[in-house]
Amino acid sequence: MRTILQGSLLPPPPIKLSHSSLLFSPSHSHYSNLKFTTKSSPSPPTITMASIKVHGVPMSTATMRVLAALYEKDLDFELIPVDMRAGAHKQEPFVSLNPFGQIPALQDGDLTLFESRAITEYIADEYSEKGEKLMCPGCNKVKAITKVWLNVEGQQFDPIASKIAFERIFKGMFGMTTDPAAVQELEGKLVRVLDIYEARLSKSEFLACDCFTLADLHHLPVIHYLMGTDSKTLFESRPKVAEWVKKITARPAWAKVVDLQKQ
């Protein structure tokens, strides 16, 4: 599997940030270098282009979600950075990929998709025979339970957890001040969600079933950020949740996503 990192970003002006824009630090301008991975060969290296292209940035939680799915499937892909600080996500050519002007967007041959969770489900279905299954194999009842927990992540966990990450991490990156009252209120809401997770994980190794699925994978980006803050105690104080977090964050595919942020 190869990851091709492409792009040329000029130093951009600051952007206006909202909690839904979990992006990257101003210090992450290292994507200004054009980088390719190549196949090793006794002859001069040849640039290899992947059919799958991801337009986004590896600090974005939504982009991270897609990258994790691609790595779990051991698929070749090309990562094309989008200079969001310069507003590239609101301009052509990006808005031709996603008219809502949000990252990421994925191209696979003649297919173009946006919305990270829809993209990961496409990856799981289209490449079902490669890498990890990412969906519980079994009857329709098992599949239905998987969809329940996919929706729980998107509608119950992420709206709260992503706002905490915005307050605790991303505000500081952009010179904004964390609102302690907002954090306290949000953490009170997340506690109730994690209590339900603790009960569920006492009956099942992972959220949907006893195998790792997209229902678990979709949590990884925000959990990754929150575990670097004081909010980690909300996870660590619940034994089953803590064990689950340890398992999903230790996956080799996730380690590759985190490593990509450091390049």
Q: What is the pLDDT of residue 6?
A: 55
Q: What is the pLDDT of residue 263?
A: 85
- Tens of each residue's pLDDT in the chain, 263 residues: 666 665 433 333 333 333 433 443 322 333 322 232 323 334 333 334 579 999 999 999 999 999 999 999 999 999 999 999 999 999 999 999 999 999 999 999 999 999 999 999 999 999 999 999 999 887 889 899 999 999 999 999 999 999 999 999 999 988 999 999 999 999 999 999 999 999 999 999 999 999 999 999 999 999 999 999 999 999 999 999 999 999 999 999 999 999 998 88
Task: Return the closest-CA partner of residue 29 out of 77, 78, 86, 91.
Answer: 86
Domains of the chain: 52-127 (3.40.30.10), 140-261 (1.20.1050.10)
Question: Is residue 62 a contact partner of residue 116, using CB atoms and an 8 Å limit?
Answer: yes
pTM of this prediction? 0.83
Q: What is the pLDDT of residue 69?
A: 98
